[in-house]
Amino acid sequence: MLKQQENKRLVVKVGSQVLCNNSGALNLPVLASLAQQISALNAQGWQIVLVSSGAVASGAGVMRNEPGAHKLNQITNPVVRKQALAAAGQVRLVESWQKLFSQHGVAVAQILATKSDFQTRRHYLNMRSCIEALLDAGLVPIVNENDVVAVTELMFTDNDELAGLIAGMVHADCLFLLSTVAGVLTGQPGSIEADCIAEWNEAVHKVDDVVLKGTSALGRGGMHSKITTARKVAALGTEVVIADGKATAVLQSILDGKTIGTRFAPGSGVSPAKRWLASAQNQAVGSVVVNPGAEAALLDQSRLASLLPVGISRVNGPFESGDVIQIRNEADRVIGCGRCRYGADEASAWLGQRGHKPLIHYDYLFMLESIRH
């Protein structure tokens, strides 16, 4: 049985490969099964966020089946075409979910997100407040990337990444990443050598040894992406399970402790501020380079070390007070990130000096070492 926190929260991510058939149309029996399972858990007191792919694939179905929509195919710009398909398909996707959940007396709400919603602490807290209000009201928030406005620099790697950020945001007990395979396999799906890894062990398993990088025909993600997200989210204190989204009663089976899928055991967890920093690390606006002594101190898990000017050898601005910046070592490898207490000009003026306040206080410092490959 999954160890529950007081809030009993789950994030369920379902990809396009699970939700759509080979032609790209929504597989309504699969959606109906998942809506029934989530509704049953909702009745048990679980608060559930559903991260649902499928808008672009649904848009392709709209283009084929609805009068006048076939003209979407005449859009030649691939980015604009994808945005148009997402805009048309998101309506059908959420409408389908709404009808299926309503059969079980459960209301849903739609949330569309881009990376910009995680870039500042204010945006992050605003989104978290909205999702928590919906959960407390008994609704199931349905989250998807806002493909209509997401340009390359604002796109998530895939919805696995988005689901991981949401799980950290709401401090979920568990994140379910539902795929079309039984879990993380030791060989190619369908081969006799392909056993499912019941529990991921960082000391034994290596990502590149068990999966091939790549994406599916219907989505941007793949098993490599799922494992990357799972390892990171687990390190932040949330249990993760990768499992077959089409398996019978898959959600309840996992919660009942049955051996299904691949489990990533949760670490000790981090503070809400550090969870936000973990989500904002790729949106840093500047960086500093630290000397070997400062690097060792920051990575020493037995110490609560802040980043002081004396340990900084170079400042790469501009950045201002409150911005998230990267921390790099002298080999130019990113080892962490943090929210700075003052700007690049002041940091440069105090470079390498003792007796000044920390550039990044420990409470707003997030180190990456625990989630490295």
Residue 278 maps to a domain? no
Q: How far apart are CA 49 and CA 134, in angstroms?
A: 10
Q: How far apart are CA 311 and CA 91, in angstroms?
A: 52
What CATH code is carried by the domain that includes residue 196? 3.40.1160.10
Which residue, chain included where needed, has tokens 């992406």?
225
Residue 59 maps to a domain? yes
Residue 146 maps to a domain? yes
What pLDDT was estimated at residue 236?
A: 86
Domain containing 305: what range? Answer: 284-371
Domain identity same for 291 and 199 = no
Closest CA to 227 of 238, 244, 217, 240: 240
Domain identity same for 163 and 240 = yes
Domain identity same for 186 and 47 = yes
The string of DSSP codes covering 200-254 is --TTT--HHHH------SS-S--HHHHHHHHHHHHHTT-EEEEEETTSTTHHHHH
Domain identity same for 321 and 196 = no
Q: What is the mean pLDDT of each run of 10 residues along the chain (373 residues)?
A: 65 92 82 97 96 84 69 78 84 94 98 83 89 96 83 66 91 93 78 80 74 44 81 89 94 92 85 81 85 92 89 92 92 92 95 94 83 42
Q: How far apart are CA 233 and CA 253, in angstroms?
A: 21
Q: How far apart are CA 269 and CA 366, in angstroms?
A: 12
Domain identity same for 366 and 299 = yes
Domain identity same for 269 and 288 = no
What CATH code is carried by the domain that includes residue 300? 2.30.130.10
What pLDDT was estimated at residue 129?
A: 95
Which two structure tokens, joined as six digits, stand for 14?
């379902």
At 329 the three-state DSSP class reads: coil
Domain count, the chain: 2
Domain identity same for 304 and 189 = no
Residue 49 maps to a domain? yes
Residue 279 maps to a domain? no
The string of DSSP codes covering 351-368 is TT-SSS--SB-GGGEEE-
The domain boundary residue, chosen from 211, 242, 273: 273
What pLDDT was estimated at residue 39?
A: 98
What pLDDT was estimated at residue 370?
A: 47
Which two structure tokens, joined as six digits, stand for 193?
């050598």
pTM of the model: 0.80
Domain identity same for 304 and 327 = yes
What pLDDT was estimated at residue 190?
A: 64
